[in-house]
Structure 1
Amino acid sequence: MKKIGFLSFGHWSASAQSATRSASDVLLQSIDLAVAAEELGADGAYFRVHHFAQQLASPFPLLAAVGARTSRIEIGTGVIDMRYENPFYMAEDAGSADLISRGRLQLGISRGSPEQVIEGWRHFGYAPREGENDADMGRRHAEVLLDLLRGEGFAKPSPNPMFPNPPGLLRVEPHAPGLRRRIWWGSASNATAIWAAQRGMHLQSSTLKADESGEPLHVQQAKQIRIYRQAWKEAGHDWEPRVSVSRSIFPLMNDRDRAYFGRGSSSDQIGVIDNMRAVFGRSYAAEPEQLIAQLRADEGIAEADTLLLTIPNQLGVDYNAHVLDAILTHVAPALGWR
């Protein structure tokens, strides 16, 4: 295990039990938690994107703010729903956030997840072309973004520009060198993992996956990662692929931890998501010694190079920093981290 970061879904609720009662609370606390995570030695601060929900949505202002407040930690998404995105505007936003962070952006994108509303992307002005479905549209937007991030000129300059142009065709600005090689694809199936590898995107595999064999999530995930790496090798890219997996992990260090999460072991669950039979991964909650043994048996974690810890963001910055500190101090070193 080379890198460990957190992944926040950014929920808020007006409930008196929530430490995040508004969008403002979530955004400001997300920045503070990223700063705290960097101070604790974590490697990454990642944020989920959901539209039409009381969760984090527009990622680039947050990523830019985190980039300005930190100096070392990777900042990223897991994932941006490309069905909702204008790739040209997104390339500008992503370039700006990456430059502000001095090249620390790790941008996770995907076809998207189940929605709060019916065909929400239509409200954003997007619709599949004839013969496409919404997943096809999301992948098409992704491929346009990848092309734009290469930084090659494509737009014919005006003969009467407001400002002098450099010679040749123009590209989207600002351009962030290297960002094209820091794009990740969130994949729920073996087939889309291969598709991502062929296009030179890193792989994000979440806490759920298409149930393609009936085996536990971590076993199916490990097979997916091996398939992905083989496809990457066959594609002949000249940079190294990275793979992240997400897990809910809670060391039980005190009575508060046990009150929140000490309810015995959990197990994988089978369900249907977007008409797809899916396997949902278990949560891990135990004393550190037990956690280490359980996590060593997780084949998905063993195959990945990056572990993203899904956090209960509504419990506030201090508690989540405590969880991260407990993992980094008492669990991660035994898994080979640093």
Structure 2
Amino acid sequence: MTQEVTLNLIVLYPMKKIGFLSFGHWSPSPQSGTRTAGDALLQSIDLAVAAEELGADGAYFRVHHFARQLGSPFPLLAAIGARTKRIEIGTAVIDMRYENPLYMAEDAGAADLIAGGRLQLGISRGSPEQVIDGWRHFGYIPAEGQTDADMARGHAEVFLDVLAGEGFAEPNPRPMFPNPPGLLRLEPHSEGLRRRIWWGAATDATAVWAAQLGMNLQSSTLKFDESGKPFHIQQAEQIRAYRAAWKEAGHAFEPRVSVSRSIFALVNDMDRAYFGGGREEDQFGYIEPEKRAVFGRGYAAEPDVLIKELAADEAIAEADTLLLTVPNQLGVQYNAHVIEAILTQVAPELGWR
């Protein structure tokens, strides 16, 4: 009887990988615990180490350019890979409008080899920026008749192609060093990384496109509003559309799906002071002209209340990976506490651990 009950719980509440997602904000304000870019980078490494020790599954980082946030992911990912042994290390997401996909493939391959094959790279067409058309300053301009989103998807497709490890470049007949036979590929090549690329989709259509190309799916706390329904329902519908497209494409491996949430278990006075001011609801607004978006609510409550609220979130139920957005400027120790509270007081009661 005990075994049957346990199996039923696993069906209802599937096990999940749980990691953190940091934007790496820094500010010279005296109220900030992360006052410089160096602080943001070094504290990110320390938090990844602490999260691994707590039993978390992933350390993920957002990439924004021209901002007081983390902007160059691969040195950070490589450093974390060298300091940790088990935890997944990833991004959510890298804006492909800014990327040279061949140079990126070399950086990604090197970082993945340093980490022993633990990279989980989230990429995307990007989000509203700090500057106007920032990608132009990096030397990238959409081709005639294309948008910047088209350019980002084109960069992504080239990136995926070269990660496959097939030779494509004609070797020099008089090279400086001996070449292997045939066309040359980019080096270093990390076997298996191609299956660990994720696409950050803001629409159902781009989620389907990601499935067709064999990318895993990242769905964050923002999505273009396509039905007026609550955020978690729209997101769950997006995930189901993605899984259906994946099945139709017939890929040879199972995909992964992550959602990110701001979740705080109020277990002490500091938690209540920071996050006990009220319950958030979904918000609808415009992040680009004529593009209405829905922003998912945050969760902050005593663990018993939090468990009931999270159990009703359809998108979390659909996903196999949950990324907890953390307030990194509150310091490594407090953020480790935030992660630990979810891992120990919430996740087990939902059957996630």
TM-score, normalisation: structure 2: 0.95
Residue identity matched to 2:330:
L
- Which of 21, 33, 36 lines up with 1:22 in the alignment? 36
For residues 211-231 of structure 1, the C-alpha deviation after alignment (integer angstroms, 9 at most, x for no partner) is 111111100000000000000
Aligned length in residues? 338
- Which of 166, 184, 202 lines up with 1:170 in the alignment? 184
Tell me how far apart the structure 1 counterparts of residues 351 and 178 of structure 2 sit (CA, whole Å): 53
Q: 2:350 matched to 1:335?
A: yes
In the alignment, what sits opposite 1:325? 340
Q: 1:265 deviation in Å?
A: 1.1
Q: 1:337 deviation in Å?
A: 1.7
Tell me how far apart the structure 1 counterparts of residues 192 and 349 of structure 2 sit (CA, whole Å): 33
Q: 2:107 matched to 1:114?
A: no
Residue identity matched to 2:62:
R
Tell me how far apart the structure 2 counterparts of residues 335 and 130 of structure 1 sit (CA, whole Å): 51
Q: 1:274 deviation in Å?
A: 2.1
- Which of 102, 114, 136 lines up with 2:116 in the alignment? 102
- Which of 287, 293, 303 lines up with 1:278 in the alignment? 293
Q: How does 1:124-143 map to 2 (within 5 A)?
A: 124-143=138-157
Runs of 4+ with >2 A deviation: none
For residues 143-182 of structure 1, the C-alpha deviation after alignment (integer angstroms, 9 at most, x for no partner) is 0000000000000000111110000000000000000000
Tell me how far apart the structure 2 counterparts of residues 224 and 63 of structure 1 sit (CA, whole Å): 29
Q: 2:79 matched to 1:69?
A: no
In the alignment, what sits opposite 1:316? 331
Q: 1:79 deviation in Å?
A: 0.2
Q: How does 1:9-88 map to 2 (within 5 A)?
A: 9-88=23-102
Tell me how far apart the structure 2 counterparts of residues 95 and 64 of structure 1 sit (CA, whole Å): 10
In the alignment, what sits opposite 1:268? 282
Tell me how far apart the structure 2 counterparts of residues 335 and 61 of structure 1 sit (CA, whole Å): 36
In the alignment, what sits opposite 1:226? 240
Deviates most, 267-276 or 222-231: 267-276
Q: 2:315 matched to 1:297?
A: no
Q: 2:219 matched to 1:199?
A: no
For residues 277-326 of structure 1, the C-alpha deviation after alignment (integer angstroms, 9 at most, x for no partner) is 00001110000000000000000100000000000000000000000000
Q: 1:266 deviation in Å?
A: 1.0
In the alignment, what sits opposite 2:3? none
Tell me how far apart the structure 1 counterparts of residues 330 and 81 of structure 2 sit (CA, whole Å): 23
Residue identity matched to 2:270:
R
Identity among equivalent positions (%) equals 79
Q: 2:169 matched to 1:159?
A: no
Tell me how far apart the structure 2 counterparts of residues 336 and 129 of structure 1 sit (CA, whole Å): 49
